[in-house]
Amino acid sequence: MRFLLIMLLFLQCKSGNKRIVNLSEIGWSFELPSDLRFNDSAFNHNGQINKSSWDTSQYDDRSRVELFWIKPEPNNYFNAIVYIDSSDSKKWETNVIADSRFYIGFVTQTPQLKLLDSLISIENIDGINFQKEYIKIYNTAKRDTTHSYKFSRKYKNYSININIRYKNKDLGNKLMGILYTSKFDK
C-alpha cells in the first residue's frame, strides 16, 4: 500500500511539470513546460479562439489572430499566427514559399544583417508535412546570431504559422521541443 501511495505521488508530481494545451479548432495540441508561460494568448481555457481577437493587418486583408506568444527572454520566442484562408492547397503552398523567399531577400538587403544560412523545405512533424523556413542571421551591429524558424500548415480553412526565434540555444532547444512533441489532427 505504501508503495502504491508513493507511486501515485510520484506520477502526480511528474505530470505536473507540463501543461497540455489543446487547440481543437485548428487541430493542434502540445505540452507547455511548467517553467514557460504565455505572455499573451487569444484562446480561452477550452482552447477555443476568442472571436474578438480576429483582425486584419495593413499587409494582408485576410482575417488573422496572433494565437499566442511565449517569450521567456527578449529575442527568444515561440508564437503562432493563424489566418482564415480559403485558397486551395497548391495556391497556399505557392504563397508560403513566395513569402519565405521575400523575407530571405529582405534579410540579404539589410546592411547590418549577414545571412549565414537559409533553407526552405518540407518537414514532417507528427505525420503532417509543414512548409519550413529556416534563417540564420548574424547582426553585425549587435554582434549576435539569431536562428529563425517558420513552420506553416494548411488545416481546413486555416493557414497556421508557427514562428520560433532564438539567440539562446538552450531556450531554442526547449522551444523547438514544444513543436516537435506536438500532436496535430490529420
10 falls in which pLDDT band (50, 70, 90)? very low
CA 41/CA 76 separation, integer angstroms: 17
Domain span including residue 64: 2-184
Is the pLDDT at 14 greater than 80? The verdict is no
Q: What CATH number is given to the structural domain containing 111?
A: 3.40.1000.10
* Number of domains the chain is built from: 1
Nearest-CA neighbor of 28 among 136, 131, 126? 126
The residue behind cell 513543436 is 179
pLDDT digits over 71-84, tens only? 999 999 999 999 99
Contacts of 105 (CB under 8 A, 6+ apart): none
- The CA distances from residue 183 to 67, 98, 158, in Å, are 17, 27, 17
pLDDT digits over 162-171, tens only? 999 999 999 9
Flag whether the pTM goes above 0.75.
yes
Question: C-alpha grid cell for residue 147?
Answer: 536562428
